[in-house]
Structure 1
Amino acid sequence: MGKNLLTGSFQLMKSLNRSVILNLIRERGPISRAEIAKVTKLTPPTVSNLVKELLQTEIIMEQSLGESSGGRKPTMLTLNSSMFHVVGLDLGSHHLKATLTNINGKMIKKESVPIPVGVTKEDLLKLMADCVNLIKNEAGINEENIIGIGVAMHGIVDVEKGLSVFAPNLNLQEIPIKEYLEEQFNMIVKIENDARAMSLGEQWFGNGAGVDSLVSINVGRGVGAGIIINGKLFHGQNFISGEIGHMVIDINGPKCTCGNYGCLQTFTSGPSIAENAAKELRLGQQSSLATLSEGDLSKITGEMIYDAAVAGDALSQNILAQAGRYLGIGVTNLIHIVNPKRIIIGGGVSNAGDFLLDNLKDTIKQRALTSSAKETEIVISKFGEDASVMGAVALILTELFSTRGN
């Protein structure tokens, strides 16, 4: 199948009835034409015609015969998941992650490459293209069998233009990601803020499945949230919805990278946790971190603190507990504003597990307004540090399958 037909198939799917059928096959396949007609209330001839068109794009395929209740056995329809693939990219502060999945979201290949210090816009775009080629070639996948590239990007993103408006951790602005990658690869490219992408990924095939109101919080070098209301991703008027890392928790707190003081991420992000540990050691606190860092406090990382906490280091346990309490305050504020059914915690800091989560939950129980709000579901991301890159994949699957208009 050539690129033109594959690209054209996206336009084909824009028909509501085709999208409904395709999504039904994704969710319930293998499924017969008769069952599709029954579920969708479309007439059998209409279903047959639409299925015929979908078969021509090769996005679906006929499978071995199903069970019959009498008479001729029905032909079953299923996604052609082994043929078509999606590339997801996650642009963090220091690394660019890439993954290749099938159209069911199953990860086939994953790579992570460092982003050079002081990278330019041009260099970053080329690095992204190189990463796509790397993962494609490693997996032995033909480019014409990749249906699109999803990009999760930290900072402010204009999803309509496919533009990284401001990537604060790279100190870059106005990066034309969609335009560049579409020109390089002649396929659909979708770009989204990393936390919002994470939320979409959790909704599609993670711990947010079947939940219409949820918030996913990405806690890494920064803190961001993706908010889904009534099954739809909420962007806000200027694409800054979910920037909870810049919710002020303490007006007399430390200075944040944004220029304000006491932002949530100055207490809960990976770098701030590491800096807090280094500060306590300088003040004379005893900890195995002094040995683990070989006396160089700048080497202390969130992972190191977690390892020390597991080994019983009291300072490390206290630092993670404090970060959990501050995050709990931020999450409580979020519950009072959005009141979601479920909150999902992902990103590197989420690896701290119960050291952080128990204190987060305790804080919510102390501070939330009502008994039901106190019991808001809090879970760890299904994908951990891969939550945003899987969200990037979901951007393309949403474009292909969704009838919800996310």
Structure 2
Amino acid sequence: MKNEEVELINCKDVLKCVETLEHPSRADIAKHLGLSRTTSSYNINKLMELSLVKECESSLSKRGRPGKPIVLNDEKWYALGACFANNSLYFTVLDLNGKIIDKKSVNIEPITFDRFYKILTKNIKYFFDKYSDNILPAIGIGSPGVIDPKTGAIVKAVDLGWYNIPLKQLLSENFNLPIFINNRYRTMGLAEVKQGLGKGYDNLIFIGIGNGFGTAFFLDGKLILSTNIHTGGIGHIVVDPNGPYCRCGKKGCLYTVGSLAVLEETAKTLLDLPHEKSILDDKDNISMVNIMDAANKGDNLAMDCVRKVADPLRVVIEDLINIINPERIIIGGPMGIYGDYYCKYVSEKIADFYNTTDISIVQTEIDYFGGAIGAAYQVLENKLELVLNKEID
């Protein structure tokens, strides 16, 4: 192995220590990594030259001679992430600690790929111009649809009518920068692990629910990626063999009985039948948001609608628990963000089924910016290579 490769590995290890240990000193880092103090200090100095870490004033919190804490430099480098959600594009700029420095959302209705791409590139350029001296030379993207992990292309985003769009290639050619692209629900899951309700959990599942279903699986704290584009797709798990036909050709997929569209259609059907007075009677347009809001307020008709789509999800989650047994499951996406009663119902039903409260199923606390936050973390995870202008696998 070349000296340059060894130095890169050591620098990455030191960075990892700074990120995971609590304000470590030079001596702490050397001890933790089993390096000599000379080697450790050499790599710390290298990272300081790159403005990735900085040395603070002496800490008085430890016994003996106080050491100077080494921390991430939050004053130099920023990362840009963008994500499509809720018919809008969301943008965030994070410092090295993950703090939001800037953010922006832009509605892109009527939605076409050309409009999506135009607004995406316009705002990427805006943020790169605004933070030209500080922004890491890469772009993180949370995209709708099924993403080819090798090419970064949108294989299909059925609800949008997008097929075989080489998004990563288009952006790379436009900006001549590394592009880190993943499905939007996976970047939302990454945000949960880094600064949401998934922080501190090594093995968890994030489930994003909207027009479809998306998941992010984390094992030993790492997002599980696969060469199979359909890995993690729970929307086409059959939960009712006698259910309606799905566009995939099967009957009773989770998508056909538990999606946002099914929730709204159920509400319209029940409102056409004799029923007790409901908050939804006064709504001109029945939407997921006002159904969830009514259910959260205890409206019986709305709660019936929510339970109808929550029960199929519960069945799938029970299967995931039996197979994977995660420490925590986080429900997010549009139906997770607004569905207080929805998430509570699923959690309580599963607790009753297993006769335990040890299974942690929680509702996300991160809004629609979560996907952009996670997209920016894709850039932050490669910060050393980006600053050194190294090729990234």
TM-score normalized by the length of structure 2: 0.87
Q: Deviation per CA, 1:315-357, whole angstroms, max 9, x where unpaired? A: 0122123322222111111112222121111111113444112
Q: 2:46 aligns with which of 22, 47, 53?
A: 53
Q: Does 1:239 align with 2:225?
A: no
Number of the residue aligned with 1:386 = 369
> Aligned partners of 1:12 and 1:167: how far apart in 2?
40
- Pairing of 1:98-109 with structure 2 (within 5 A): 98-109=91-102
- Cα separation, 2, equivalents of 1:118 and 1:76: 49
Structure 1's 260 and 389: CA in aligned 2 closer, same or farther, altered over 3 A?
farther
Letter in 1 for 2:219: I
1:182 and 1:56, CA in 2 relative to 1: closer, same or farther beyond 3 A? farther
Give the one of 111, 123, 139 matched to 1:131.
Answer: 123
Please give the secondary structure, in 1, of the residue aligned with 2:362. strand
Cα offsets for 1:89-117 (capped at 9, x unmatched): 11236222211221211123322222344
- Using the TM superposition, name which of 393-402 and 325-334 deviates more: 393-402
Distance in structure 1 (CA, Å) of the matches to 2:87 and 2:144: 11
Match of 1:89 among 75, 82, 87: 82
Note closer, same or farther for the CA distance 1:307–1:208 as it changes in structure 2 (3 Å cut): closer
Cα distance in structure 2, aligned partners of 1:255 and 1:93: 26
Q: Distance in 2 between matches of 1:333 and 1:383?
A: 26
Within 2, Cα distance between the matches of 1:107 and 1:142?
17
Amino acid at match of 1:131: N
CA distances 1:257-296 after superposition (whole Å, capped 9, x unpaired): 5454322133332222112101211234343313122xxx
What is the distance in 2 between the residues matched to 1:12 and 1:285?
A: 70
From the superposition, tell whether residues 271 and 237 of structure 1 become closer, same or farther in structure 2 (CA, over 3 Å).
same
Name the structure 1 match of 2:55: 62
Question: Equivalences for 1:196-207 in 2 at 5 Å?
Answer: 196-207=186-197
Tell me the equivalent position of 2:326.
Answer: 340
> For residues 170-190 of structure 1, what are the alpha-carbon distances to aligned partners after superposition, in whole Å with 9 as ceiling and x for unaligned?
211232222332333343320
Q: Select 2:293's aligned residue among 291, 304, 307.
A: 307
CA distance in 2, matches of 1:338, 1:216: 13
For 2:201 and 2:170, locate their aligned partners in 1 and report how far apart those are by CA, in whole Å.
35
Instruction: Give the corresponding residue for 1:296.
Output: none
Deviation track 1:358-394 (CA, whole Å, cap 9, x = no partner) reads 32123324545xx56x742111223143332222122
Answer whether contact 1:217 1:346 (CA < 8 A) is retained: yes
Tell whether the 8 Å contact from 1:99 to 1:108 is kept in structure 2 after alignment: yes
1:127 partner amino acid: I
Matches of 1:304 and 1:45, distance apart in 2: 62
Residue 255 of structure 1 deviates from its aligned partner by: 4.0
Deviations 1:96-142 (A, max 9, x none): 2211221211123322222344513x5433321112234556xx422
- Please give the residue correspondences for 1:205-224 in structure 2 after superposition, counting only pairs within 5 Å: 205-224=195-214
Distance in 2, Cα, partners of 1:310 & 1:327: 18
Tell me how far apart the structure 2 counterparts of residues 144 and 109 of structure 1 sit (CA, whole Å).
Answer: 13
- Unmatched 5+ residue regions in structure 2? 386-391
**1:125-164 to 2 correspondences below 5 Å:** 125-135=117-127, 140-142=130-132, 144-164=134-154
Aligned to 1:4: none
Query: Aligned pair in 2 of structure 1 residues 312, 339: CA closer, same or farther (>3 Å)?
Result: closer
How many residues align? The count is 382
The answer as to whether partners of 1:159 and 1:190 remain within 8 angstroms in 2 is: no
Percent of pairs with identical residues = 30
Picking from 8, 17, 21, the partner of 1:15 is 8
SS of 1:86's equivalent? strand
Contact 2:85-2:368 at 8 Å conserved across structures: no
2:12 maps to a residue whose letter is S
Measure how far apart 1:306 and its partner are: 2.2
Match of 1:227 among 214, 217, 242: 217
Amino acid at match of 1:58: S
Does the 8 Å contact 1:252/1:262 carry over to 2? yes
Partner secondary structure for residue 146 of structure 1: coil
Distance 1:167 1:256 in 2: 16
Which of 23, 27, 37 is 1:44 aligned to? 37
Q: 1:326 aligns with which of 312, 330, 342?
A: 312
Residue matched to 2:20? 27
- Aligned-residue CA RMSD (Å): 2.9
Q: Which segment drifts farther, 190-199 or 384-393? A: 384-393
Q: CA deviation at 1:216?
A: 0.5
Q: Counterparts of 1:134 and 1:231 in 2: how far apart (Å)?
A: 33
Q: Deviations over 1:221-251 (max 9, x none)?
A: 2111111223332234412111112211113
Q: CA deviation at 1:401?
A: 7.3
Tell whether the 8 Å contact from 1:33 to 1:47 is kept in structure 2 after alignment.
Answer: yes
Task: Provide the rounded CA distance (Å) in 1 between the counterparts of 2:68 and 2:348.
Answer: 53
User: Aligned partners of 1:272 and 1:202: how far apart in 2?
Assistant: 27
In 1, Cα distance between the equivalents of 2:177 and 2:68?
Answer: 32
Cα pair 2:185 2:371 within 8 Å, conserved: yes
**Greater shift after overlay, 243-252 or 108-117?**
108-117
Name stretches of at least 5 consecutive residues in structure 1 with no aligned partner: 1-10, 294-298
1:326 is matched by which residue type in structure 2? P
Alignment of 1:176-215 (within 5 A): 176-215=166-205
Aligned-partner SS, 1:87: strand
Structure 1 residue 84, shift from structure 2 partner:
1.4
TM (norm. structure 1) is 0.84
Residue among 374, 377, 380 paired with 2:360:
377
Counterpart-to-counterpart distance in 1, 2:339 and 2:193: 21
Q: What code does the residue aligned with 1:187 have?
A: L
1:110–1:135 CA contact under 8 A, matched in 2 = no
Tell me which residue corresponds to 1:114. Answer: 107
Q: Secondary structure at the match of 1:246?
A: coil
CA, structure 1 residues 118+26, in 2 after alignment: closer, same or farther (shift >3 Å)? closer
